[in-house]
Structure 1
Amino acid sequence: MKRSALSSGIKLSFLTFLSRILGLVREMTKAAFLGTSDLADAFGIAFMIPNLFRRLFAENSISVAFIPVFKSYLEERAAEKDKTGGTEKARDKELRLFLNSVFTLVSFFTALTTVLGIILIPYIAPLFIKDASQSIIPEMVFLTRLMFPYLAVISIAAFFQGILNSVKIFTPSGFTPVLFNIAVISAAYLLSPRTANPARAMAYGVIAGGTIQALFQLPFVLKEGFRPAFTGLKCAFGNPGTKRVLKLIGPTVIGMAAYQVNDVVSTALAGNAGSGIVSSLQYSLRLQELILGIFAVSVGTVILPDLAGLAKRKEYEAFEKMLSQAMHIIALITIPISFFLFVFGENLIILVYKTRRFSDESVFLTLKAFRFHIAGLFFIALNRIIAPAFYAQSDTKSPTIAGIGGFAVNILLALILIRPMKGGGIALALSLASFANTVILFVFLNKSKTIHTGRLVRPYIAYALKLALFSLLCVLPLYMFKQQLFAPFAHLHRFFAQGIPLFTAALVFAFLGIGLLALTKDASLMSIVRHVRKQSD
């Protein structure tokens, strides 16, 4: 219980790094089999649709509503058992009924949505594809119907993850995405010769991977003494704990609905902007999510239970310190990476994706989106750290309103920028909307009576500007000598032609950056060094 956020974050980050690398391999597999073709767009849209509902039913609902309520049940049970010497059974029964009720509601709503989605998708699919590609719509309908049950199994997996994370067990949940990616990659290579097209093979892998994610976590849940089972719907809706969860979910559903509409409209605009735009945006986002998943999601996942506990005990000084530490770590990572990838983004895209059906045109389309996605990396990561500060205090309204504000900015800018900038316009709109979301979150945080926002934000802005200056100083010499760095390897296979100079540039950039941080005795760097030394002793 006393493990530091940094220690848990490093462990989870390693697992997430592994899963994101395999996620990248999965995207490389998709690029090799589908490129930026109409079929690639169809698969991307078909997978996106159940994913939209997954975010609604699974990830966000579990993190913002289930974990804080479940955490309170656990703490109340522990306090009661301390008083009675471990003989109190009433709290155990309340906890069991609560878990059964949530499990029942998650299963019911996801099953109902899956059935409706399968029935209605023929009427929804034409909204996402431009007129010249109408022939691909039947295939998109088939792929969506094939993958819609993924929603049900991945929601159960998220429920199991919420249970484990609440008791500070992160490893099983951190490992399940690895299994998912292995399932999809394996299906692409093993089933493609046996299916009508590679997209169908990958769709079968999606279903298999989601099922494995749920089944893998179940033994760990059972080992902790939790045995979720179905109960009556009347009992599930009437449970006091689920009422609290639903009350917390209410504003979140509105905010998430705005986010989902945001994603849907952006995808529809991309689908109607030309062939390959949807898939190029997804390839770009996969690279961005590699970084976000390793750091922002990991840190946010680890600090949420601790923040919830500190908020319940009203230890707001420690709450603010933990939040500040997480924000500084995110800035230390994302700001330098953004500068580096803005200069070397094209080389990274060629290294990762350029094979088989991924042409020079595919590289061009993906790079246009990637540079604008990278511009918003810091703000997207920061939002994923600030939002848990509200959720930990059972405040879902503020991040919901901020999300709606970001949604409005994104849609407005996407509509303006899509015509002159195509995929790049949609990516830029997302980055600017993430900045707007960050500003709104800080405005709401400033109204909080528990957090001294000025004390938190003012030094943080100065720190972010310092990192931006250092990053610029480190990347400029690399930019000036970029051609000379890559020229000696140009005749080699792309893995070596791009990989060797890219790796060398990254090492030089990191060496220069760490040197500047060490010279200025950066507090965050010193904290990480002290932690590493302590762990090695």
Structure 2
Amino acid sequence: MKQKSLLAKGLSLSVLTLLSRILGLIREMTKARFLGTSAFSDAFGIAFMIPNLFRRLFAENSISVAFIPTFKNYLEDSNTTEGKKEAEDFVKATFTLVSFLTVCFVSIGMALTPFILKIFYSTEDIVAMNEAIILTRIMFPYLVVISIAAFFQGILNGLKIFSPSGFTPILFNTIVIAATYILSRWTANPARAMAIGVITGGTVQALFQLPFVLKNNWRITFTTLKKAFTNAGTKKVLALVGPTIIGMAGYQINDIVSSALATRAGEGVVSSLQYSLRLQELILGICAVTIGTIILPDLTGYAKKQEWVNFNGLLGQSVKIMALIAVPITFYSLLMSENIISLIFSGGKFNADSVKMTMEVFNFHIIGLFFIAVNRIVSPAFYAQQNTKSPTIAGLVNFAVNITLASLLAGNYKGRGIAIALTAASAVNTAVLFFFLKKTKGIEVGKLVKSIIAYTLKIAVFSLIASVPVYFMKDAVIGFFAGHTRIVSHGIPVAATAAVFGIVGIILLFATKDGIVKAAAGKIKRRSK
């Protein structure tokens, strides 16, 4: 029953997330067309990464780990007048705190931008660094507006309203794409046009969600700083989020160090890594982020009521859904990576060298797809029980492994070495999370892990079988359509091989009466009636 419920609840959000990820990919295609793997492309990547890192560290981390569970507790007591007032005071205090802290942080960050960027650039790259300084200062305020947008999303997700928040990335990506095409002729370079689109899109993300929050009778107003810092709810949020910032900082410092190593490894390495990760994020956004967002409120409820059977069932089913999506995509992507990258990014300033550089990185990134996705799904199991210590330690282990390997491999293997490091660190992180899960009350980790491993191996075997016909047919199909336009020479081979791979996989799943596929098929059949 819970399995069907998860599939049903995730359908609309998955569609929105799919659209936003596709538009995110088109945004990267736009960047590839206008900037390729040039120094300007690297400068934009570094400049956008800085506020984005702090967004993940403070905004997303605080909302998912601390705000939603705390807000949910207030909601359960909001039936009385006193309970409703306490919940409203908590919302006002949190809004004040988010606004004040991010404005202060951004102001300091913009002043220190030249010093921050010295981490990434050597003295010989003064022209690229100066451009990165301008781009960073344009986009740094994005942290303020996107943090407020994340706060609104936390309220709506706590109320189990997901669609408005799921739609905002679509608006953001559309605005960035449009700004690049419209404003690039008026700016010094296309990177600045994209930067203007980023800050505009972030602002729209916040404004779009506000009416939905107000519609559900939650007033968004400021309170005094004293009340904001002394509110019982915000104090609890800060206590919960404090330890996780240390662990999350490990993830974010990973990106900073990896990007610094990539920048010094040569022109275009940063961009090739980011193009590769965008393809990976497309898949993660469809499955892991969607599932993680939906299961957190339910896991929190099960943990509070100590309904561990339901808790275990929901967690295990979520990871299996992830395996069903991620493992086949990994196999297929390894077979057709060059054509996929050429189809998506080729054109304009993204030439054959850019394709080769990105493909070499992507082949190592995609191997870690399953581990990264599982980490994003398993983490809510700890957060639901307000256990922030375990994911924090796992994050620090991830950081240590990634930085050590990236430092050792970046010199000789450049982007490939950095991608290998990320994949290996993600696998270690998964193992550490399950080790800590074993010590968590009420969770039958042994049974859970055996079930997940058995299902994942089954999907891997099916994917291997489905890869065989693709392996033998791909050269002939690619050769037949070579020499035509990009859509024909790469698009048709990708579509044809994907169809064969998918058909073989689906036949195997139905032949073995896969439980997840049966539940999904039953749901679709009932809706069609």
Structures share a fold, TM > 0.5? yes
Q: Does 1:76 align with 2:77?
A: yes
Q: Does 1:510 align with 2:502?
A: yes
Q: What does 1:115-514 align with in structure 2 at a 5 Å threshold?
A: 115-514=107-506
CA distance in 2, matches of 1:132, 1:235: 50
**Residues 68 and 154 in structure 2, CA contact (< 8 A), matched pair in contact too:** yes
Match of 2:8 in 1: 7
Aligned to 1:128, the other structure's residue is in SS state coil
State the one-letter code of the partner of 1:311: A
Of stretches 279-288 and 516-525 in structure 1, the one that deviates more from structure 2 is 516-525
Alpha-carbon distance, 1:533 to partner: 2.1
Match of 2:27 in 1: 26
CA distance in 2, matches of 1:220, 1:306: 22
Q: State the Cα deviation string for residues 41-94 of structure 1 (Å, max 9, x = none).
A: 0000000001111112211110010000000110122xxx3xxxxxx3111110
Q: State the Cα deviation string for residues 143-193 of structure 1 (Å, max 9, x = none).
A: 000100000000000000000011111110000000000110011011001
**Residues 15 and 171 in structure 1, CA contact (< 8 A), matched pair in contact too:** yes
Alpha-carbon distance, 1:132 to partner: 4.1
State the one-letter code of the partner of 2:8: S
State the one-letter code of the partner of 1:156: I
Q: State the Cα deviation string for residues 330-355 of structure 1 (Å, max 9, x = none).
A: 00000000000011111010000010
Q: State the Cα deviation string for residues 251-290 of structure 1 (Å, max 9, x = none).
A: 1111111111111101100000000000010000000000
Match of 2:39 in 1: 38
**Residues 130 and 273 in structure 1, CA contact (< 8 A), matched pair in contact too:** no
CA distance in 1, matches of 2:512, 2:307: 32
Which blocks of at least 5 consecutive residues in structure 2 are unaligned? none
**Residues 130 and 274 in structure 1, CA contact (< 8 A), matched pair in contact too:** no
Q: What does 1:519-530 align with in structure 2 at a 5 Å threshold?
A: 519-530=511-522
Alpha-carbon distance, 1:130 to partner: 4.3
CA distance in 2, matches of 1:20, 1:424: 24
CA distance in 1, matches of 2:123, 2:361: 23
State the one-letter code of the partner of 1:257: A
**Residues 102 and 242 in structure 1, CA contact (< 8 A), matched pair in contact too:** yes
Match of 1:84 in 2: none
**Residues 57 and 106 in structure 1, CA contact (< 8 A), matched pair in contact too:** no
CA distance in 2, matches of 1:23, 1:72: 34
Instruction: Give the TM-score normalised by structure 1.
Output: 0.97
Alpha-carbon distance, 1:309 to partner: 1.2
Alpha-carbon distance, 1:297 to partner: 0.2
CA distance in 2, matches of 1:52, 1:194: 29
Instruction: Give the TM-score normalised by structure 2.
Output: 0.98
State the one-letter code of the partner of 1:110: T
CA distance in 2, matches of 1:367, 1:133: 26
Aligned to 2:491, the other structure's residue is in SS state helix
Aligned to 2:237, the other structure's residue is in SS state helix
Aligned to 2:77, the other structure's residue is in SS state helix
Match of 1:67 in 2: 68
Q: State the Cα deviation string for residues 449-508 of structure 1 (Å, max 9, x = none).
A: 210001101121111111111111111221122111112211321012111121111111
CA distance in 2, matches of 1:527, 1:402: 34
State the one-letter code of the partner of 1:223: K
**Residues 126 and 134 in structure 1, CA contact (< 8 A), matched pair in contact too:** no
CA distance in 2, matches of 1:456, 1:211: 42
**Residues 469 and 501 in structure 2, CA contact (< 8 A), matched pair in contact too:** no
State the one-letter code of the partner of 2:143: L
Which blocks of at least 5 consecutive residues in structure 1 are unaligned? 82-87
Aligned to 1:194, the other structure's residue is in SS state coil
CA distance in 2, matches of 1:467, 1:130: 46
Alpha-carbon distance, 1:535 to partner: 2.6
CA distance in 2, matches of 1:57, 1:229: 21
Alpha-carbon distance, 1:245 to partner: 0.6
Q: 2:81 aligns with which of 82, 86, 89?
A: 89
Match of 1:85 in 2: none
Q: Does 1:16 align with 2:27?
A: no
CA distance in 1, matches of 2:251, 2:437: 21
Of stretches 251-260 and 385-394 in structure 1, the one that deviates more from structure 2 is 251-260
**Residues 77 and 84 in structure 2, CA contact (< 8 A), matched pair in contact too:** no
Of stretches 386-395 and 130-139 in structure 1, the one that deviates more from structure 2 is 130-139
State the one-letter code of the partner of 2:150: A
Identity %: 58
Aligned to 1:395, the other structure's residue is in SS state coil
**Residues 20 and 173 in structure 2, CA contact (< 8 A), matched pair in contact too:** yes
State the one-letter code of the partner of 2:34: F
Structure 1 runs of 4+ aligned residues shifted over 3 Å read none
State the one-letter code of the partner of 2:23: L
State the one-letter code of the partner of 1:436: V
CA distance in 1, matches of 2:354, 2:255: 22
**Residues 157 and 217 in structure 1, CA contact (< 8 A), matched pair in contact too:** yes
Q: 2:102 aligns with which of 78, 96, 110?
A: 110
Q: State the Cα deviation string for residues 377-436 of structure 1 (Å, max 9, x = none).
A: 000011111001111111111111111111111001101111121101101100110000
State the one-letter code of the partner of 2:159: V
CA distance in 2, matches of 1:257, 1:457: 28
**Residues 100 and 229 in structure 1, CA contact (< 8 A), matched pair in contact too:** yes
RMSD (Å) for aligned C-alpha atoms:
1.1
CA distance in 2, matches of 1:99, 1:476: 55
State the one-letter code of the partner of 1:407: F
